Structure 1
Amino acid sequence: MNSRTLTVLVTLAAATAALGGSAATAAGPRPKEAAVTGSAQVLYVPSPEDDVRLTFDAHATYGEGPVPTGTRGTVRVFHHFVAPGMKVWAEADVDCVMATGRIATVTAVVGKTSPELAEVWMGRRIGFTVLDTGRRGDQVGMAGPLENVPRCLGAKPYLGPTPFSLLRQGDLKLRHNLPPVP
């Protein structure tokens, strides 16, 4: 075999290995994603006349374990307190989304707020639990801002409260990252 033939064979072998490797990688397990998206006006039980609105664009990517390998998105909170006539808002960066079936928990760290909330909310974690029952009947629980709430499955796996508040209007959608239970 001459050197030219050997060079062609080595080049073909390398190309085949490279193509085979990328094809195997592309066919391998893909990351799973959990997400909570949508906007809603919440019936705020402690003060039903208040206008409370939430917007979720929360996503997490998962590998093989239960803790996200990546997160992105924001949660926005708007609250118009009717009695004092005050309007406040906060925007938080998502740091955890965990979901299965029709329920999800989301935590996020507040990065922007209205001036009235800045001292108490800035840099603190807030937690939500969302129950997606379909277009009518979704529910949400809210907590925060809280001190020392761990991210995802930390030492104390607190994420959000029971979803006790009904939605006045809107729709929240979730996509879960776990396989269905047999």
Structure 2
Amino acid sequence: MLVAAGIGAGSSPAAAGVAPDGLGAGGAMAAAQAKVSGSARISFVYSPDDDIRFTFDVEAAPFTRPLPGLPKGLPTDARGTVRISHHVAGADHAVTSEAAVDCLVTGDRTASFTAVITRADPEVADTVGQRRGFSVLDGGSPRHPDRVGFSWGVVNVDDTDPGRPVEGKVGTCMAPAPFAPVISGDLTVRPGELAPMPAGGR
């Protein structure tokens, strides 16, 4: 079971609408933009000998992704990149994927976000175009390690086809709890409150 089937484009705070000096329009203090960053190797209980790594560069970009019926987008809109590498024990190479981030929501030391796969190695090429969900817990200390969750492999089963469980569709920002501990590397969650609705509403 390849974890590399999961997985954007980074940007600066200025591009997301935050003034470099932290001041918004009229000199008001701007809210910190939520962000998730870092690289880590996880321990996955069902593939204990595999080398599975995630790299996250995720940043909130509220109301930047217009949708039909939502011309201004959503407060959870985000941008960034997710990279995944999965080296199966005994294999001669790692299988990798990349994806464009489209949604991010944070709370204290946790984050949930989604990304649509834009590039994948031949072994998982059929996942291009699919949305995947991710979660991160920033443990903050060696005694409380970081953790990662992902929306495929052991979760997100749908029974819409009787007698044949299938992988369910992932909606924006939908991800499981961070179930896999980080064994090397470091992940950082910078929380941010949801942005206020723009003038005129949605």
Normalised to the residue count of structure 2, the TM-score between the two structures is 0.65
- Residue of structure 2 in register with 1:177 after alignment: 192
Contact 2:59 2:80 in 1 (8 A): yes
The answer to whether 1:142 aligns with 2:163 is no
In the TM superposition, residue 69 of structure 1 has moved relative to its aligned partner by 6.1
In the TM superposition, residue 100 of structure 1 has moved relative to its aligned partner by 1.0
Contact 1:124 1:147 in 2 (8 A): no
Q: Match for 1:28: what amino acid?
A: A
Moved more, 25-34 or 75-84: 25-34
The answer to whether 1:112 aligns with 2:119 is yes
Q: Distance in 2 between matches of 1:39 and 1:150?
A: 24
In the TM superposition, residue 62 of structure 1 has moved relative to its aligned partner by 3.8
Higher strand share: 1
Q: After superposition, give the CA deviation of every residue in 1:9-66 in whole Å (9 maximum; x if it has no partner).
A: xxxxxxxxxxxxxx99332363541111000011111111000000000001347xxx
- Residue of structure 2 in register with 1:168 after alignment: 183
Q: After superposition, give the CA deviation of every residue in 1:62-105 in whole Å (9 maximum; x if it has no partner).
A: 47xxx436422100000011155552110010111110101100
Indicate the structure (1 or 2) with the bigger Cα radius of gyration.
Answer: 1
Contact 1:38 1:171 in 2 (8 A): yes
The answer to whether 1:130 aligns with 2:151 is no
Q: Distance in 2 between matches of 1:141 and 1:24?
A: 34
In the TM superposition, residue 133 of structure 1 has moved relative to its aligned partner by 1.0
Identity of aligned residues (%): 39
Normalised to the residue count of structure 1, the TM-score between the two structures is 0.72
Contact 1:32 1:61 in 2 (8 A): no
Moved more, 52-61 or 139-148: 139-148
Q: Distance in 2 between matches of 1:25 and 1:94?
A: 27
If asked which structure has higher relative contact order (CA below 8 Å, sep 6+), I would say 2
Task: List alignment gaps of at least 5 residues for structure 1.
Answer: 1-22, 153-158
- Residue of structure 2 in register with 1:15 after alignment: none
Moved more, 40-49 or 131-140: 131-140
Aligned-pair RMSD on alpha carbons?
A: 2.4
Note closer, same or farther for the CA distance 1:115–1:177 as it changes in structure 2 (3 Å cut). same
Q: Distance in 1 between matches of 2:56 and 2:76?
A: 20
The answer to whether 1:61 aligns with 2:67 is no
Q: Match for 2:49: what amino acid?
A: E
Question: Which secondary structure state, in structure 2, belongs to the residue aligned with residue 133 of structure 1?
Answer: coil
Q: Match for 2:152: what amino acid?
A: G
Q: Match for 1:95: what amino acid?
A: D
Q: Match for 2:82: what amino acid?
A: V
Residue in structure 2 matching 1:100, options 102, 107, 115? 107
Note closer, same or farther for the CA distance 1:62–1:177 as it changes in structure 2 (3 Å cut). farther
Aligned length: 147
Task: List alignment gaps of at least 5 residues for structure 2.
Answer: 1-22, 64-73, 154-166, 195-202
Q: Match for 1:49: what amino acid?
A: D
